[in-house]
Structure 1
Amino acid sequence: MHLEFYWLAVLFCLFLQKDLYQDSVQAANILGIFSYHFSSHNLVVRPLANALVKRGHNVTLITPVGMPTDIEGVRHIRVPKLNQRVQEMIEGDQILDFFGSKWIASLMVVSMLYNMSSDILSDKGVQKMLQNRNERFDLVMLEPSALEALYGVVEHYNATLMGFSGGNVNWSTEEVAGNFAPSINDPISSLGYSRSNSLLSKIYNWVHITEEKLLKHLIFRPSQLRIFKKFFNFSEQKFYNMREKYSVILVNNHISMGRVRSNVPNIIEVGGLHLTEPAEPCDSKLQKFMDDAEHGVIYFSMGQEIMVQFLPEDMQQNLMKSLDQFKQRVVWKTELYNMPNKSDNVYVIEQPPQRAVLAHPNTRLFITNGGLLSVMEAVYSGVPILGLPVFFDQFINLRNVNLRGMAEVLDANEMTLEILTSTIRKLLENPRYALKAKKMSQSFRDRPMSPLDTAVWWTEYALRNKDASHMRLNTEDVPLYYEWDWGLLLGLRFGIVFGSVIYLVYKLFQKTSARRRPFQVTGTVSQHPSLLDRRSQTQ
């Protein structure tokens, strides 16, 4: 009798398990195309690819060589030209142009993305995959609104299109997600973008984003369309229709880290995805250095992509002189082991285990350039930040945590020794920053699901629901005033140019007419007062 009850319980559990997993999907073929040669993007991609493989899916990644490193169970198609492009930019010092004019930087980005799309689609491994008639994919993951020529891959396989953004959300990402709510706070590039709250700054930022939209529509998108038509036998209309095919867009962001935004349902925040990977521990020497720090530790790092040797000499000297005035120990990330004037309280390391350093209970302050993952790790560990932004999204990342009260931000180009020292002292001695940092950490960690579980669930949701149009905001349903800012400023710009041309033509016509008039009215006595005067005098 007891045995019968046992088997009934087993059968009940099996039926219950079936109900619990009725929403799961069968093994699917998933293709991810991630072209960026940045370690931060690959740190986000890696855990999701691992998790999808463990769920039984067949994952293929098209990436640069070595980024990410090989993942067990994943088929990697490497594109060497993506590595060569970056190397050429660094060796030719073209990367320095990103710190100059926003127009030069914009044109460089257009050229770079054009080359990336062409390099990927012309790669031998990719072409072999596309020409294999037995190859099929159920879902294709792309960085949203960047390499739009790759929409052809999605259409080629009749696959579901999913976005996966390793960076911040901007107006361009929202555009392909179907979110037309107006925003003047989220540009693609921060070069030339004002970070003040004044009305004049908001107007200036409005102009800035309009310029980005003009570049996107007039230069960037046509260049991607040319590649799309070159490699795929699809119409131009198909290219533009594909922009509205995104089912779900995963974004490496979280509401605790910045301002609340008007999201649509298909934008899913998975900020902290890379934190699900095990953190690299400190070695025994570094661990002891931090454990014995009676007054705490200051951690200095300008990220993975910026080498200290490229920083201005006066900036390095100011940092060293300033940090030497404090009793806290310093962990300094640098590739220069023979640093001049280095004091004994500075621990120099080329590749520190950053997450372990920030998680150490003695860490009091993080001095950083403000890369998204670095800021995210500081928020996760509740460590106050001194930001020295120099590139792209770092200004926005640091501004967000500054507004939340856990960070101070300095202009790296105008940073004096006095300003730097007083700011560090304020961050260390005022308990408000540490309290705000702990509060942000609590908000960042408090979620119904982990970032990885969230990402996996929504990826499989996209697989289960090939047509996810019910999650998108239809263009015809969007109130007209949501687009008034773009239309108004565009009209004003072209109106001013057109009016100026008309005015110049009118003034030129007036000047030409004035020159011709004396020659056209000769021969009439009444038009020459001097002749009339002479005749009257003779009489």
Structure 2
Amino acid sequence: MRLGYAWLAFGLLLHLNLYLELGQAANILGVFPYRIPSPFQMVRPLIKALVERGHKVTMVTPADYPAKIDGVRHIRVPMLNQLMQNLMKNDQFFDALGDKWREGVLVSTIFYNVSHAILNNNGVQMLMRDKSIRFDMIMVEASHLDALYGLAEFYNATLLGISCMHMTWHIDYLAGNLAPSVYEPISPNGFALDNTFLSRWSNWIYITEEKLLERLVFRPAQVRLFKKFFGYPAEKLDELRARFSVILVNSHFSMGRVRANVPNIIEVAGVHLSEPPEPCGAELQKYLDEAEHGAIYFSMGQDILIKYLPENMQKQLLLVFLQMKQRVIWKSELSMLANKSENIYVMDKVPQRMVLAHPNLRLFITHGGLQSVMEAIDNGVPMLGLPLFFDQFNNIHRVQLAGMAKVLDPNDLNADTLIETIKELLENPSYAQRAKEMAASFRDRPMSPLDTAIWWTEYALRNRDTSHMRLNVEEIPLMRYYRLDSILTFGVRLGCVCGSLIFLGWRLYQKNRNRHTRLQERERVIAQIQLGLSNYEVVS
């Protein structure tokens, strides 16, 4: 009898636990318009983990990106693929690079077209017309796709941001972290990374221009879409921009950039490392194992084809690699390279994480993509950076400042400089030592990056109002927020000192001038007396 009651109690407990688990499950809509594979390396593990925890996830993505995830409802937007193809054929875009305002106008058009393609998609429209479907959370990339924020209001859902790229002042703004910064521009081209006064002043102007572009160009275009598809006034969009609960950012303080964050900016760099790495083939494994002098790995990432690199850059790299005693693994879509030798191993698809983890790997030559830099840091491998565009400059320069990398201009490479730099990285033990220290710091966390991302995602689901995690500037007096009281005190003191010095200088000047005047007057009187005496003698 007692055994029967025990089984009944166990069954009720199991049923109650199952009920509680089901009660915590949420409907989540993720909108990710990336047309390149690297950002999905961060998104995919998070979505898989949320599905495994019982949440129902719908994803709006381009066709074919990412591959189908079990348990996820996929809504594909082929127009996003077409927009990327049109962009790559648009010579105006490449001509505008380097001109902030022309570049800003073109990028604004791209964001407008992306938001329009998503909201105008038949699958998305059918989803919005189905009144039986509700969402508890909207996950979006924290970029300038402001019109998509209307989905959070449409479904009365929590708004969660994801930043797969580097941190910027714009993400700070969305998170309520409005402290003035001259460190994180949106486009780093032409942005100075040193700390001189002139660089800081130049960077302040640089970011001020970006803020003007955001206010005058980016946002008005998104407001038009916001009104067209949702019918909300522009003021509602300003409200939604301040409604981000949590923003998961693909960065970590151990990667060479310590910054001040409000509590709802969550650093989760390394989420993609939770997925098992692709194994090495037997041939590649043997090639690395038998590298007597170590190995060098050269890759420009998943999104940059070797054939599009400057021809001079390819020639200089090949010339240098042929002279190295280390074995070289060259990631290239080209099956054959001119002058290929036994110490150069060419592969189209490289199991990068396994290569970087191999004990014989001595150096990673990279374009500075965020995922690549992260994987090199995780494995403690020194880097030589050859950045080409966008966030790559910022990513690799930060690691250079941290002491585990060197950076060269890929458009101005020569064999002598390249050999000298590679030898410096290989033979100076400080780079390898610093790389190991950064790897230890990167891995030493209370929770894994994926567990951290999941916990904070579910925290946002449990706590819809996260205003207590944002910096409310309206409650902080202007004098205190900008530390104007300290500046005023310093200014008064400086003014008193400068005023005193000016007053003393003026008094000394006046005294000296009066003395000079008296001397001149005395000399004039003496001269008149002498002249009078001379005239008197002549008359006599």
TM-score range, shorter chain: 0.7 to 0.9
Match of 1:275 among 270, 273, 283: 273
2:111 aligned partner, one-letter code: L
User: d(CA) in 2 for partners of 1:254 and 1:389?
Assistant: 20
Q: Which amino acid aligns with 1:180?
A: L
1:447 to 431, 441, 445: 445
1:192 aligns with 2:171: no
AA at the equivalent of 1:309: K
Q: Give the deviation of 1:25 after TM superposition.
A: 6.0
Partner of 1:157: 155
Q: Quick check: 1:385–1:406 contact (8 Å CA) kept in 2?
A: yes
Consecutive unaligned residues of structure 2, counting only runs of 5 or more, are: 485-540
- Cross-structure match for 1:421: 419
Name whichever of 139-148 and 435-444 sits farther off. 139-148
The alpha carbon displacement at 1:479 in A equals 4.7
Given the superposition, is the C-alpha separation of residues 328 and 98 from structure 1 closer, same or farther in structure 2, using an over 3 Å criterion?
A: farther
Distance of aligned partners of 1:434 and 1:117 in 2 relative to their CA distance in 1, 3 Å threshold = same
Whichever residue aligns with residue 114 of structure 1, its letter is Y
The Cα of 1:287 is off from its aligned counterpart by: 1.1
Residue aligned with 1:62, SS: strand
Q: Give yes or no for contact 1:407–1:433 (8 Å, CA) kept in 2.
A: yes
How far apart, CA to CA, are the structure 2 residues paired with 1:34 and 1:245? 19
Deviations 1:440-483 (Å, cap 9, x if unpaired)? 00000000001111111111111111111121111213452656
- Within the candidate set 387, 401, 404, 1:403 is matched to 401
Task: State the alpha-carbon separation in 1 of the partners of residues 482 and 82 from structure 2.
Answer: 40
Q: Distance in 1 between matches of 2:483 and 2:79?
A: 42
Match of 1:248 among 223, 246, 254: 246
Question: Cα distance 1:317–1:98, how it changes in 2: closer, same or farther (>3 A)?
Answer: farther
Q: Structure 2: how far apart are the matches of 1:22 and 1:404?
A: 47
Give a deviation string over 1:126-155, Cα, whole Å, max 9, x none: 000011111110000011142100111111
| CA displacement at 1:102 relative to structure 2 | 3.1
Match of 2:336 in 1: 338
The 2-side partners of 1:289 and 1:261 are apart by 41
Q: Are 1:138 and 2:136 matched, yes or no? A: yes
Separation in 2 of the partners of 1:483 and 1:323?
53
Corresponding residue of 2:106: 108
Structure (1 or 2) with the larger CA radius of gyration: 2
Q: Which residue of 2 aligns with 1:80?
A: 78
How do 1:162-241 and structure 2 match up within 5 A? 162-241=160-239
Secondary structure in 2 matching 1:153: helix
**Alpha-carbon displacement from aligned partner over 1:353-400 (angstroms, at most 9, x marks no partner):** 111111111110000010000000000011000001111011110111
Letter of the 2:205 counterpart: V
Which of 300, 303, 306 in structure 1 is aligned with 2:301?
A: 303
CA contact (8 A) 1:47 1:276 kept: yes
CA contact (8 A) 1:248 1:268 kept: yes
- 1:126 aligns with 124
**In 1, Cα distance between the equivalents of 2:186 and 2:253?**
19
Q: CA deviation at 1:104?
A: 2.9
Deviation per residue, 1:42-78 (Å, 9 max, x gap): 1110000000000000000001111111000000001
Decide which of 458, 461, 464 is 1:463's aligned counterpart. 461
Q: Is the 8 A contact 1:178 1:474 kept in 2?
A: yes
Gaps of at least 5 residues in structure 1 are 486-539
Q: 1:87 to 1:375 in 2, by over 3 A?
A: same
Query: Is 1:382–1:434's contact at 8 Å kept on the other side of the alignment?
Result: yes
Once structures 1 and 2 are overlaid, which stretch shifts more, 209-218 or 339-348?
Answer: 339-348
Cα offset for 1:108? 2.0
Distance in 2, matches of 1:118 and 1:480, equals 38
Sort the Cα spacing of 1:288 and 1:112 in 2 relative to 1 into closer, same or farther, 3 A. same
Deviation at 1:24, TM superposition (A): 9.7
Tell me: CA distance 1:27–1:64, structure 2 relative to 1, closer, same or farther (3 Å).
same
Cα distance in structure 2, aligned partners of 1:425 and 1:377 = 22
Segment drifting more, 90-99 vs 33-42: 90-99
| TM-score in terms of structure 1 length | 0.85
> Residue 262 of structure 2 aligns to which amino acid in structure 1?
V
Aligned to 1:466, what secondary structure does the other structure show?
coil
**Corresponding letter in the other structure for 2:381:** V
Which residue does 2:43 correspond to in 1? 45
- CA distance in structure 2 between the aligned counterparts of 1:215 and 1:39, rounded to whole angstroms: 28
Deviation string 1:221-260 (CA, Å, 9 cap, x unpaired) is 0110000001112111111111110111111111101221
In structure 2, C-alpha distance between the alignment counterparts of 1:24 and 1:207, rounded to whole Å: 52
Aligned in 2, Cα 1:423/1:24: closer, same or farther, shift over 3 Å? Answer: farther
Distance 1:25 1:98 in 2: 52
Q: Secondary structure at the match of 1:413?
A: helix
Fraction of identical pairs, as percent: 56
The answer to whether the 8 A contact 1:47-1:274 is kept is: yes
Q: State the AA in 1 paired with 2:132.
A: N
- 2: distance between equivalents of 1:424 and 1:22? 58
> In structure 1, what is the Cα distance between the partners aligned to 2:190 and 2:104?
11
CA contact (8 A) 1:24 1:460 kept: no
CA contact (8 A) 1:293 1:328 kept: yes
Query: Hey, what's the Cα distance between the residues in 1 that align with 2:42 and 2:431?
Result: 28
Conserved 8 A contact 1:178-1:472 = yes
How many residues are paired up?
Answer: 481
* Equivalent runs, 1:467-478 vs 2, <5 Å: 467-478=465-476
Q: What is the distance in 2 between the residues matched to 1:478 and 1:410? A: 44
Which residue number corresponds to residue 89 of structure 2?
A: 91
How far off is 1:99 after superposition?
A: 4.4
Distance in 2 separating the partners of 1:451 and 1:398: 21
Amino acid at match of 1:335: E
How far apart are residue 89 of structure 1 and its match?
1.7
One-letter identity of the residue aligned with 2:56: N
- Aligned equivalents of 1:153 and 1:169: distance in 2? 24
Partner of 1:327: 325
Alignment of 1:24-43 (within 5 A): 26-43=24-41
Provide the rounded CA distance (Å) in 2 between the counterparts of 1:254 and 1:208. Answer: 25
Aligned-partner SS, 2:212: helix
One-letter code of the match for 2:238? Y
- For 2:251 and 2:199, the matched residues in 1 are separated by 25
Displacement of 1:119 after TM fit?
0.4
Per the alignment, in what secondary structure is the counterpart of residue 40 of structure 1? coil
Cα RMSD for the two superposed structures: 2.5
Equivalent pair of 1:27/1:58 in contact (CA under 8 Å) = yes
Partners of 1:29 and 1:214 in 2: how far apart?
37
**Greater CA deviation, 85-94 or 372-381?**
85-94
Secondary structure in structure 1 of the residue aligned to 2:210: helix
Closer, same or farther in 2 for the Cα pair 1:227/1:303, shift >3 Å?
same
Match of 2:520 in 1: none
Cα deviation for residue 22 of structure 1 reads 8.4
- In structure 2, the residue matched to 1:505 is none
1:78–1:483 Cα change, 3 Å? farther
